[in-house]
């Protein structure tokens, strides 16, 4: 199997690789603007067939109760991805615009390794708990609590970290005993479709357990929320789309997992190494062109050292020039599309209109005529009420905001509709932890700690989402709880 040669990807429906009823659509290299190839373009009928296959497989097979089979299939998929990892790496760099260095971590190898956690968890999980005998209402009863698969899961995923997010849904959902329909973003169809090829050619997944439906039409993905045959929707993407998923799912009261937007704060306290912390904040905001929901994009610094902080951040960010993602040293590659580049530029324009200034960056790089590149940009001179401080930009943009001490920093950090992530820097561990404890967010990095790990739950507060992905909490999102009471005589 050659993943990159003459690619025209297909749908995976009911165990077969098939063409899309709506023909094909192109996938574009965001660094070169060249057409890489085409993907199968599914229709509403194709999605209906995929949902039907997943429904039958769950209802009529023993997939949901055969833990050994599930574990074997997940490990086979992991091994197939490892065998083809170099081809997958090139596909990811080309289709996603992901810098090569990131494919050794969260863009590819990390998510593949994390499938072990899903398989291991299924193998060791306590699927039932014996609560013993009691006599509620005077009736002697033996009580058991069982944990079971929810049923058919519809997974809708974005383009920024496609392997990470696809596998973070597929792995636990299947390990828990569910069947699944995956609808990836139109910008990165190959990263999902290649899983279908590997599943058919290298695994024992029964027909209908995994279905992968690529489409240029976002409405095809919305059918997962609306269809009564789907028991749960697991969605990662923008908060606005998350609201639509939740509204569509309400008609059938299906379970909804939502991992949504962020506007996370990087808080530097007045005793921290300002230059070092600002440099880290700038590096983080530039990585993968800022296309990460948990990236810290508001830099909160002591007011007395504001100008120094802006200068330090700009010194680092201005040196991280947008570059060719195929090169080993590139940190900031392209954004995914011309549409996204234009959207980012509109935010930069709004910053100037509101009275801000650019300490570095501010637009398209002068030395790149092709590719969807935008300069890493530091915005100064605005407060937390500015548009660029309130809304998720999803680009390499860092807004520097002054604070007047720990309480004020916490107030500003929490003054956001989002609550996904945050960072606190201070050499005083007690002080840093006290600030971190007051942040209304789902993940916190203190002094450079790393929360990204297969066994750590990820998710947010407020409009950053509902539920958790990864870790044991993420596995259990895909389970129902059944209480069983047996008369004991």
Q: Which residues pair with 146 in a beta bridge?
A: 128, 482
Alpha helices for 176-209 (secondary structure H): 189-202
Q: Which long-range contacts (CB under 8 A, 24 or more apart) does 4-9 make?
A: 4/87, 4/90, 4/91, 4/94, 6/37, 7/36, 7/37, 7/38, 7/190, 8/37, 8/38, 8/39, 8/40, 9/37, 9/38, 9/39, 9/40, 9/189, 9/190, 9/193, 9/194, 9/196, 9/197, 9/214
Please tell me the distance from the alpha carbon of residue 396 to that of residue 282, in angstroms, as a whole number. Answer: 9
Please tell me the distance from the alpha carbon of residue 57 to that of residue 65, in angstroms, as a whole number. Answer: 12
Burial environment of residue 39 by CB neighbours within 10 A (0 to 12, 13 to 18, 19 or more):
buried
Contact 280, 301 (CB under 8 A): no
CB count in 10 Å sphere of residue 40: 27
Please tell me the distance from the alpha carbon of residue 415 to that of residue 268, in angstroms, as a whole number. Answer: 17
Contact 397, 299 (CB under 8 A): no
Contact 237, 156 (CB under 8 A): yes
- Tell me, yes or no, if 90 is annotated catalytic: no
Take residue 304 and report the two structure tokens written for it. 């007395």
Contact 295, 284 (CB under 8 A): yes
Kindly name the residue from 95, 109, 259, 476 that is annotated as catalytic: 259
The alpha carbon of 354 is separated from its chain's Cα centroid by a whole number of angstroms, namely 31
List, by residue number, the catalytic residues: 259
């Amino acid at each position: 199997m050659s993943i990159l040669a003459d690619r025209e990807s297909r749908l995976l429906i009911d165990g077969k690789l098939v063409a899309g009823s709506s023909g094909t659509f192109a996938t574009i290299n965001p660094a070169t603007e060249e057409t890489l190839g085409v993907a199968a373009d599914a229709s509403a009928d194709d999605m209906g067939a995929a949902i039907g296959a997943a429904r039958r497989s769950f209802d009529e097979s023993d997939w949901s109760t055969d833990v050994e089979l599930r574990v074997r299939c997940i490990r086979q998929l992991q091994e197939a991805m490892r065998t083809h990892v170099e081809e997958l790496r090139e596909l990811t760099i080309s289709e996603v615009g992901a810098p090569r260095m990131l494919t050794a971590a969260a863009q590819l190898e990390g998510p593949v390794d994390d499938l072990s956690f899903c398989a291991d968890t299924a193998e060791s999980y306590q699927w039932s708990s014996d609560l013993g005998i009691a006599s509620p209402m005077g009736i002697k009863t033996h009580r058991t609590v069982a944990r079971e698969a929810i049923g058919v899961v519809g997974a809708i995923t974005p383009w920024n970290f496609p392997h990470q997010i696809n596998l973070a849904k597929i792995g636990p959902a299947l390990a828990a005993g569910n069947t699944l329909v995956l609808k990836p973003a139109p910008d990165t169809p190959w990263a999902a479709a290649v899983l279908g090829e590997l599943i058919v050619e290298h695994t024992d997944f029964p027909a209908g357990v995994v279905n992968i439906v690529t489409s240029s039409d976002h409405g095809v993905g919305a059918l997962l929320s609306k269809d009564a045959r789907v028991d749960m929707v697991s969605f990662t993407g923008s908060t606005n789309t998350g609201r639509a998923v939740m509204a569509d799912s309400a008609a059938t009261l299906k379970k909804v997992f939502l991992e949504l937007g962020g506007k996370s704060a990087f808080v530097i306290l007045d005793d921290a190494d300002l230059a070092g912390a600002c440099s880290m904040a700038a590096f983080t905001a530039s990585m993968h062109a800022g296309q990460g929901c948990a990236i810290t994009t508001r830099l909160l610094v002591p007011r007395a050292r504001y100008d120094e902080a802006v200068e330090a951040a700009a010194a680092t960010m201005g040196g991280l020039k947008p570059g060719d993602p195929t090169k080993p040293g590139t940190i900031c590659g392209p954004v995914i599309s011309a549409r996204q580049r234009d959207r980012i530029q509109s935010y930069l324009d709004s910053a100037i209109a509101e009275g801000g200034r650019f300490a570095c960056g501010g637009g398209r790089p002068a030395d790149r005529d092709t590719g969807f590149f935008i300069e890493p940009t530091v915005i100064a001179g605005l407060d937390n009420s500015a548009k660029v401080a309130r809304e998720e930009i999803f680009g390499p943009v860092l807004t520097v905001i002054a604070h007047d001490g720990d309480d004020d920093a916490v107030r500003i950090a929490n003054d956001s509709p989002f609550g996904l992530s945050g960072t606190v820097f201070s050499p005083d561990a007690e002080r840093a932890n006290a600030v971190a404890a007051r942040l209304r967010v789902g993940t916190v990095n203190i002094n450079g700690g790393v929360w990204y790990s297969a066994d750590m739950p990820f998710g947010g507060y407020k409009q950053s989402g509902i539920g958790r992905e990864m870790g044991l909490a993420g596995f259990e999102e895909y389970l129902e709880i059944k209480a069983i009471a047996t008369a004991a005589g």
